[in-house]
């Protein structure tokens, strides 16, 4: 029994643990995510300026696909839609919508103070 344990320990001594060295700089998925975050906020602001729901939605979709094509060429990524949505597309859509709402609400401060807004409607 001791011989089996001894052989077992010998086998583990010779095994080497291989670790990957961290890559320098950003990975492609980090770059993609960062670009989609920035573009999502910018398109959210442009959607606010358009002041039209349908045009804003169309703009968001067009910019999503154009950004994907440009980033694909820049980063030399030949992945499918699943990779793109996972590495920035979903975040882009959420940030576009959230930033659009934030900019919309910043423009109308009377809606953030319902008492004043209500008083103006009742008295006025």
Overall pTM > 0.85: no
What is the tens place of the pLDDT at every residue in 4-30? 555 555 555 555 555 555 455 568 878
**Rg (alpha carbons) of the chain, rounded to whole number:** 26
How far are the Cα atoms of 45, 68, 99 from residue 74, in angstroms, in the given order? 25, 10, 26
Say how many C-beta atoms besides its own lie within 10 A of residue 63's C-beta.
19
What is the tens place of the pLDDT at every residue in 40-74? 999 999 999 988 899 999 999 999 999 888 888 88
Average model confidence (pLDDT) across the chain: 77
Q: What is the share, in percent, of the chain residues with pLDDT greater than 90?
A: 29
């Amino acid at each position: 029994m001791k011989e089996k344990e001894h052989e077992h320990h010998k086998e583990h001594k010779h095994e080497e643990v291989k670790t990957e060295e961290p890559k320098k700089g950003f990975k492609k998925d980090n770059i993609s995510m960062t670009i989609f975050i920035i573009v999502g906020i910018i398109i959210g602001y442009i959607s606010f300026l358009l002041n039209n729901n349908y045009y804003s939605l169309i703009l968001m979709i067009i910019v999503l696909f154009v950004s994907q094509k440009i980033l694909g060429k820049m980063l030399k990524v030949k992945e499918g839609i699943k990779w793109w949505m996972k590495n920035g597309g979903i975040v882009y859509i959420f940030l576009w919508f959230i930033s659009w709402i934030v900019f919309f609400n910043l423009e109308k401060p009377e809606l953030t103070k319902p008492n004043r807004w209500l008083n103006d409607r009742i008295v006025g």
